[in-house]
Structure 1
Amino acid sequence: MPHNGTPATDAGNTPTIKTTPSILTPQVNINALTPAETEETVEKAGIGKTQLSGGKAFVSAMFAGAFIGFGALFFLIVTSDPAMTWGPKRFVGGLAFCMGLVLVLCCGAELFTGNSLMASDIAARKISWGALAKNWVIVWFGNLAGALLLVTLIAFAGTMGLNDGAVGDTAVATAASKITPDWITLFFRGILCNILVCLAVRIGFSARSVGDKVLGILLPIAGFVAMGFEHCVANMFFLPVGLVSKTLGFGAQAAGAEAVTVQGILYNLSAATLGNIVGGAIFVALAYWFVNARREPAKSDAK
C-alpha cells in the first residue's frame, strides 16, 4: 500500500485486495451410527467391560441395579392409579419404567441384561469365555445388591404407603403376577424381554447425543414392560419390594400373594435370568455380529 494510504493497484489501475485462506470448519455428523459401526462400538465397549477391576464392576453394577429399581418404583406408583384402564396404565407405566435404562445408558453403569451383548466379542474372539463369565457373575450380583439397597431405603422411607397404601398393594400384586406363571412361560418371557432391551441398548450405542439415546430407547423399553415380559434385574427390585410390602401388611387381597416368598423370588429369577441370556446373547448379539462384523478378505493365491 502506498504511503498515502490508497489501495495498491496493478498496471490497469484496478485495486488489488489481498485475502487470507479461509479456515475450514470441522464437519459434525449428526446421523446415527450405521448398524456396522454400532457393532464395532458394542464390541469395543465389551472389551472395556472385561478390563474393569472386580470392585469397580461391582459398584457400577450396584448403580445399575438401583437405577432400574427407581424405574420400577416409578412404574408401581403410576400404575397404582385405580382410575386408569388396563391398556393406558400399561403404556404409561412402561414409559415411567424407561427412567431406569435412561439412567443406566446416560450416567454409565453395568447392567447384566445389556452385557449379554458381550457375546459378540466371544464370536469375534476379542475376549475369553473366562472374562465373560467373570463379568456376568460380578455384574449380576452387583445389580442384585443395588436393587436390594434401594428396597431397604424406600421401605424406611414409607414409600409403599403412598396413595393410601395402593402402592404397596400394587407391589404385592405385581410380584405375585411374576411368580405364579410356570417356569417355561417365565423363561420365554425372559427371552422376549432381553431382545427388546438389547435392541434398545444398541440404539443407545448408535446415538450421537443424550437426546437421541433417550428418545430411541423409549418404545422398546416401554413395550417390553407393557407386554409383561420378564427382566431379571427389574425383578431383583419388583419381587423383594413385593415381599417387603407383604410383610408390612399390604396386598392381603392380591391374587397369588401367598406365592410371594424367598423361594418364589429365586424361582422367577432363575427363569428370567436364563431367558434374558438367550434373548440378548443369541437373538441380538450373535445375530448382529453375524450380519455386521467385518471379516478379513480371503487371500489370493495368485503370485
Structure 2
Amino acid sequence: MTTPIININALTPAETEEAVKTAGVHKTRLTGAKAFVSAMFAGSFIGFGALFYLIVTSDPAMSWGPKRFVGGLAFCMGLVLVLCCGAELFTGNSLMASDLASRRISWPAMLRNWVIVWFGNLAGGLLLVALITLAGTMGLNDGLVGETAVATAVAKVTPDWGTLFVRGILCNILVCLAVRVGFSARSVGDKVLGILLPISGFVAMGFEHCVANMFFLPIGLICKLLGFGSDVAGVDALTVTAILYNLSAATLGNIIGGTVFVALGYWFINRRPGK
C-alpha cells in the first residue's frame, strides 16, 4: 500500500493561478439565487469587520498610527470569514478576469456574476446596518463608536471623485493579492496569517473598498440621523447622494485594480507559450 504524500508547502504562483481560474469558472455556474445569498453573507462578513474597526478605533487614548494599524487588523476579520467560510465578494471576483482572458468564461457570464454579487453584497451590508442599529451597538463607549462612524463616513465622501477612484484601485490591488494568498494556502491558519498584512495595510493606508463602504457609509448616515457626530467637521456632506458618489468611484477603482493590475498581470505571467 502506497503512503500518500502530504505537501505542507503553499501552492506555487502558477498553481495558485490555476486554483483562481477553477474557482472563477465555478462562480459562473452558480444560480442567481445562490450567488445573491452567498454575496449577502460576504457583505455582512465585511460589515462585521468594519464594525470591529469602528469599535477599536473609537478609543481616544490611542495615537493615530497605532490606531490605524490595530483597526486594520480588526477589519481583517471580514475577509477571514469570506475566505474561510466561503462567500461571494465583489472585489475578490475581479480575479475572474483571468478566466476571461483564458477564454474559460464569457463576458456575459462574468458581468452577470459581478452585478448579482455587487447587489448581494449591498443587501448584506444594509441588513447588518439595520440589525446593528436595532442592537444599539453604536452607543458603545459612551457614544464614541457612533461618533467614529460619522467621522469615518464623512472622511470617505469629502475627497474628490478622482481621488476616491485611485484609492479604489490601490485598495483592490491589495485585496486581490490577499485573496490569491488565500488560494495558495493549504490550511485555515495559513489563510488567516497570509491575509493579515495586505488587508490591514489597505485599511491603514486609507484606501477605498466598495463593499466595506456599503457598511461604513450607511451606518455613518444612520448615526448622524440619530444625533451622533454633530460636531464632526463637514458632517452636512454625509447624504445618500454622497454615499452613491463614493460607491461609484470606489467600485470602478476596485474593478481596475483587481482586473488590470492583479488578474490580467498574473494571467500574462503564467500563461503557457502559444496560448
Q: TM-score range by the shorter chain?
A: over 0.9
The answer on 1:267 being equivalent to 2:245 is yes
Q: Distance in 2 between matches of 1:293 and 1:79?
A: 43
The aligned length equals 275
Question: 2:112 is aligned with what amino acid?
Answer: K
Question: 1:212 is aligned with what amino acid?
Answer: D
Please tell me whether the aligned partners of residues 40 and 293 of structure 1 are also in contact (alpha carbons under 8 angstroms).
Answer: no
1:69-106 alpha-carbon deviations (Å, 9 max, x no partner)? 00000000000000000000000000000000000000
Q: Give how far 1:294 is off.
A: 2.8
Computing the radius of gyration over CA atoms, which structure comes out larger, 1 or 2? 1
More helix by share: 2
Q: Counterpart in 1 of 2:55?
A: 77
Q: Distance in 2 between matches of 1:160 and 1:288?
A: 41
Q: Counterpart in 1 of 2:197?
A: 219
- Give the match's secondary structure for 2:2: coil
Which of 155, 179, 183 aligns to 1:177? It is 155
Q: Give how far 1:296 is off.
A: 4.9
Q: Distance in 2 between matches of 1:70 and 1:254?
A: 24
Q: Give how far 1:159 is off.
A: 0.4
* Percentage identity across paired residues of the two chains: 80
1:259-279 alpha-carbon deviations (Å, 9 max, x no partner)? 111000000000000000000
The answer on 1:54 being equivalent to 2:32 is yes
Q: Distance in 2 between matches of 1:255 and 1:178?
A: 13
Q: Give how far 1:255 is off.
A: 1.5
Q: Distance in 2 between matches of 1:118 and 1:58?
A: 17
Q: Give how far 1:25 is off.
A: 1.9
Which of 185, 193, 209 aligns to 1:231? It is 209
Q: Distance in 2 between matches of 1:43 and 1:56?
A: 20
Any stretches of 5+ residues in structure 1 without a counterpart?
1-22, 298-303
Q: Give how far 1:293 is off.
A: 2.2
Which of 29, 36, 41 aligns to 2:19? It is 41
Q: Distance in 1 between matches of 2:180 and 2:234?
A: 36
The answer on 1:89 being equivalent to 2:67 is yes
Q: Counterpart in 2 of 1:286?
A: 264
Q: Counterpart in 2 of 1:109?
A: 87
Question: 1:285 is aligned with what amino acid?
Answer: A
Q: Which has the higher contact order (CA 8 A, sep 6+)?
A: 2
The answer on 1:199 being equivalent to 2:177 is yes
The answer on 1:139 being equivalent to 2:117 is yes
Using the size of structure 1 for normalisation, the TM-score is 0.90
Q: Counterpart in 1 of 2:255?
A: 277
Q: Distance in 2 between matches of 1:125 and 1:92?
A: 41
Q: Give how far 1:201 is off.
A: 0.1
Question: 1:39 is aligned with what amino acid?
Answer: E
1:273-300 alpha-carbon deviations (Å, 9 max, x no partner)? 0000000000000000000123457xxx
Q: How has the CA–CA distance of structure 1 residues 75 and 129 changed in structure 2, closer, same or farther, with 3 Å as cutoff?
A: same
The answer on 1:253 being equivalent to 2:231 is yes
Q: Counterpart in 2 of 1:301?
A: none
Question: 1:133 is aligned with what amino acid?
Answer: L
Q: Counterpart in 2 of 1:7?
A: none
Q: Counterpart in 1 of 2:188?
A: 210
Q: Distance in 2 between matches of 1:296 and 1:210?
A: 36
Which of 140, 146, 152 aligns to 1:162? It is 140
**Stretches of 4+ aligned residues off by more than 4 angstroms:** none
Q: Counterpart in 2 of 1:300?
A: none
The answer on 1:68 being equivalent to 2:46 is yes
Question: 1:166 is aligned with what amino acid?
Answer: L
Q: Counterpart in 2 of 1:149?
A: 127
1:172-208 alpha-carbon deviations (Å, 9 max, x no partner)? 0000000000000000000000000000000000000
Question: 2:187 is aligned with what amino acid?
Answer: S
Using the size of structure 2 for normalisation, the TM-score is 0.99
Question: 1:244 is aligned with what amino acid?
Answer: I
1:135-182 alpha-carbon deviations (Å, 9 max, x no partner)? 000000000000000000000000010000000000000000000000
Any stretches of 5+ residues in structure 2 without a counterpart?
none
Q: Distance in 1 between matches of 2:18 and 2:66?
A: 38
